[in-house]
């Protein structure tokens, strides 16, 4: 449905919110609302280890393009649904699964491919007052409180991808 053009990759290097290295500190932070959506295997494992099951987790069995460590994989719940989502894309299947998971929470969406870009539709689909947490390689976990401002940023980035942007926004907004 949508693909990340090469010239937009740099826009994703800057975190969309504050970065935390400790899940307990993240969970105590202002803006760590409900529902809580986790994008990434390691982030999901850290939240579970801290005693907080995400309302929705999006996992793909990898971190930084390598399979997750066995101890991380062992802590992750089995997906309720698995969808295809090739690298550097947002498939219709992933967008639909994310919206359904939010309606049916708690839920785990498994991704065959790559879940990295799921943060954008997660911010758009999560109700105001919720939060999305994703991993920032080499830095920690990024907390994105779902506000009008964070939605505007996610919408802007998603709108700059190639493909049927209007159809994607119809799914998640």
pLDDT digits (tens, 9 = 90+) for 152-171: 999 999 999 999 999 999 99
Residue 62: per-residue pLDDT: 87
What are 139's two structure tokens? 């830095």
116 is in an annotated binding site: no
Residue 169: CB atoms within 10 A of its CB come to: 16
* 12 has pLDDT over 90: no
Is 43 annotated to bind a ligand? Reply is yes
Residue 42 known to bind ligand: yes
Residue with tokens 């929705």: 56
Reduce the DSSP state of residue 157 to 3 states and report it: helix
What's the pLDDT score for residue 13? 84
60 is in an annotated binding site: yes
Residue 171: CA count within 13 A, CB half-sphere: 23
Q: What φ, ψ does residue 87 adopt, rounded to 5°? A: -55, 145
Q: Could you tell me the pLDDT band of residue 9, with boundaries at 50, 70 and 90?
A: confident
pTM of the predicted model as reported, rounded to 2 decimal places: 0.95
pLDDT of residue 10: 85
Residue 72 annotated as binding?
no
Q: Average per-residue pLDDT in the chain?
A: 94
* Rounded distance between C-alpha atoms, residue 37 and residue 35, angstroms: 6
Q: Is the pLDDT of residue 32 over 90?
A: no
- With 0-12 / 13-18 / 19 or more C-beta atoms within 10 angstroms meaning exposed / middle / buried, residue 139 is exposed
The interaxial angle of helices 148-159 and 165-172, nearest 10 deg, is 150
pLDDT score for 114: 93
Domain ranges in the chain are 2-170
């Amino acid at each position: 449905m949508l693909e990340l053009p090469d010239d937009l990759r740099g826009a994703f290097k800057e975190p969309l919110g504050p970065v935390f290295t400790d899940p307990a500190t993240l969970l105590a932070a202002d803006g760590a609302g409900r529902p809580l959506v986790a994008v990434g295997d390691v982030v999901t494992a850290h939240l579970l280890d801290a005693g907080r099951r995400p309302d929705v987790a999006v996992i793909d069995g990898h971190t930084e393009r390598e399979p997750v460590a066995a101890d991380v994989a062992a802590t992750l719940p089995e997906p309720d649904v698995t969808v295809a989502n090739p690298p550097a894309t947002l498939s219709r299947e992933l967008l639909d699964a994310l919206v359904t998971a939010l309606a049916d929470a708690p839920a785990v969406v498994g991704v065959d491919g790559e879940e990295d870009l799921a943060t954008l539709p997660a911010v758009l689909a999560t109700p105001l007052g919720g939060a999305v947490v994703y991993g920032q390689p080499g830095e920690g976990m990024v907390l994105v409180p779902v506000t009008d401002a964070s939605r505007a940023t996610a919408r802007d980035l998603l709108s700059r991808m190639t493909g049927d942007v209007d159809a994607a926004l119809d799914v998640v907004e």
